[in-house]
Amino acid sequence: MIPLLIYVGIFVVAFFAVRAVAGGIARTGFSSLKTVTFGDESAVTPDRRASVISILTLFFLWATFTGSALIPSFLHMPGPPLGLHTFEHTVQNAEGETDTATVTFLLFETEQDAEGNDLPDPEPPAVEPGEGFALNDSLIIEAYGSELARLQDNDELTRDDGTTIVAVNGQPISPGDRLDFSFGTISMSTRGSLNILPDQGWQMEPIWLPAPESVAVRFWDILWNGFRNFSLAEHLGYSLFRVVVGFVLGALVGIPLGYAMGLSNWFRGWFDPIVEFMRPVPPLALIPLVIIWAGIGETGKIVLLFLAALWIMAIAARAGVSGVNISKVHAAYSLGASKWQIMRHVIMPNSLPEIFTGARVAMGVCWGTVVAAELVAAEQGAGMMIMVASRFQNTDIVILGIILIGIIGFGIDILMRWAERILVPWKGRS
């Protein structure tokens, strides 16, 4: 809730700030002459300043809620109050006499060495035992945790002697009560022990969301040392390889199938029910069946991606053939072209824009499907990386994997669009 409010706040502030500071920069070109821009889709171009601020905002939120070292600490959300804290507790013995002793505790965060192994917990702070029958206590509490403290165990008179804790920092307390202090909350259990619950702050625990720099460090680590017997390039390469092979096979079968369906009644009739049935079945739903049939190896994944791409490409090719303006076909016939020549010089090029649109969709679907399939079962791949990492609660690897998957998916789409511009420049312009 708080991150969302901050996000909306930054959105609004950035909008007005950019307008106030740079609003004077006039747009040039034809669009600047338009008086009607609301409702004119072509007049809406992304404001790149907004894009930059948007990305920075996301990183800022990420950094501030994880106490990242990338931003100065005054920008951090309050974290758990690490360090030494003290409070006093008053103990009453069976005779009704009271004694007060100090509790010192160290709130610490587990640190890791260069290999990512947890360092041992720190020692409790050294304290003087103090006077009276209640002695001073010293303990350590891990951040985001709590401690049911056995404060009387070290005292001269223990619980067995009939002592009870009656006050904390001078405030009376009885079983079931809660008291708030600067470092957090202390409550008393029904059996009379104090439960220390230090504030957790607004930051995310690293196990939920690691700081950006620890993801970057992990990236560097995996980049050089690999993950689970395979290098990062191999993991991503395997995923890409599966996508490319599955897509190419799907296109090799799907495009001719779509052409046949667009050109022949019999093919159309034969394959229509199959294609129309398979089209709405999400490829993910096929994973279990494919695993049963082809196992979890490469074959299974490629079969799955083949199926994911096949129907999309077949439908795109069919639409490309059906979409040909009959005048073009008539014109080609009147110019003396044979059936085969019309196929080669009219129908095929005419269907290319549709096929490219289909290919872009298919690549996107394949990329999503391969990750999902690797989540289920794989020995290497981007999906396997995040699956295994999540099992060991390596949230940084999970996030790293998600970022890499997103970047690669985006890269694939950029590449397809670029190819489209080069190969079918007439798309949408007739």
Partner 1 sequence: MTGLAIRNVSMRFDLPGGGAVQALENVSLDIKQGEILSVLGPSGCGKTTLLNIVAGFLAPTEGVIELNGHEVHGPDAERGMVFQKGALFEWMSVRENVSFGPRMKGQRAAQYTQNVDHLLDVVGLQDFKEKAIYELSGGMQQRVALARCLANDPDVILMDEPLGALDALTREKMQSLVLKLWKETGKTIILITHSVEEALLLGERLIVMAPRPGRIHKEYNLPFADEGVDADLREVKKNPKFAEVREEILGMIWDMEEEIMGRTEAAQ
Q: Given the rule CB under 8 A, which residues bind partner 1? A: 325, 327-328, 330-338, 341, 345-346, 349-350, 352, 424-426, 429-430
Edge to edge, the sheet with strand 194-198 lists: 147-149, 194-198, 184-188, 178-181
Shortest distance (Å) from residue 355 CB to partner 1 = 13
Q: Which residue, 337 or 376, has its beta carbon nearer to partner 1?
A: 337
Shortest distance (Å) from residue 335 CB to partner 1 = 4
3-class DSSP string for the chain: CHHHHHHHHHHHHHHHHHHHHHCCCCCCCHHHHCCCCCCCHHHCCCCHHHHHHHHHHHHHHHHHHHCCCCCCHHHCCCCCCCEEEEEEEEEECCCCCEEEEEEEEEEECCCECCCCCECCCCCCCCCCCCCCCCCCEEEEEECCCCEEECCCCCCCCCHHHCCEEEEECCEECCCCCEEEECCEEEEECCCCCEEEEECCCCCCCCCCCCCHHHHHHHHHHHHHHCECCECHHHHHHHHHHHHHHHHHHHHHHHHHHHHHHHHCHHHHHHHHHHHHHHCCCCHHHHHHHHHHHHCCCHHHHHHHHHHHHHHHHHHHHHHHHHCCCHHHHHHHHHCCCCHHHHHHHHHHHHHHHHHHHHHHHHHHHHHHHHHHHHHHCCCCCHHHHHHHHHHCCCHHHHHHHHHHHHHHHHHHHHHHHHHHHHHCCCCCCC
Rg for the chain, CA atoms, rounded: 33
Q: Which residue, 228 or 344, has its beta carbon nearer to partner 1?
A: 344
Q: Which residue, 189 or 338, has its beta carbon nearer to partner 1?
A: 338
Q: Which residue, 214 or 350, has its beta carbon nearer to partner 1?
A: 350
- Contacts of residue 4, defined as CB under 8 A and 6 or more positions apart, other chains included, come to none
Q: Which residue, 172 or 323, has its beta carbon nearer to partner 1?
A: 323
Shortest distance (Å) from residue 349 CB to partner 1 = 4
Q: Which residue, 273 or 428, has its beta carbon nearer to partner 1?
A: 428
Shortest distance (Å) from residue 68 CB to partner 1 = 51
Shortest distance (Å) from residue 336 CB to partner 1 = 3
Shortest distance (Å) from residue 12 CB to partner 1 = 43
Q: Which residue, 319 or 337, has its beta carbon nearer to partner 1?
A: 337
Q: Which residue, 110 or 325, has its beta carbon nearer to partner 1?
A: 325
Shortest distance (Å) from residue 340 CB to partner 1 = 10
Of 83, 73, 80, the closest CA to residue 104 belongs to 83
Shortest distance (Å) from residue 330 CB to partner 1 = 5
Shortest distance (Å) from residue 324 CB to partner 1 = 11
Q: Which residue, 263 or 337, has its beta carbon nearer to partner 1?
A: 337
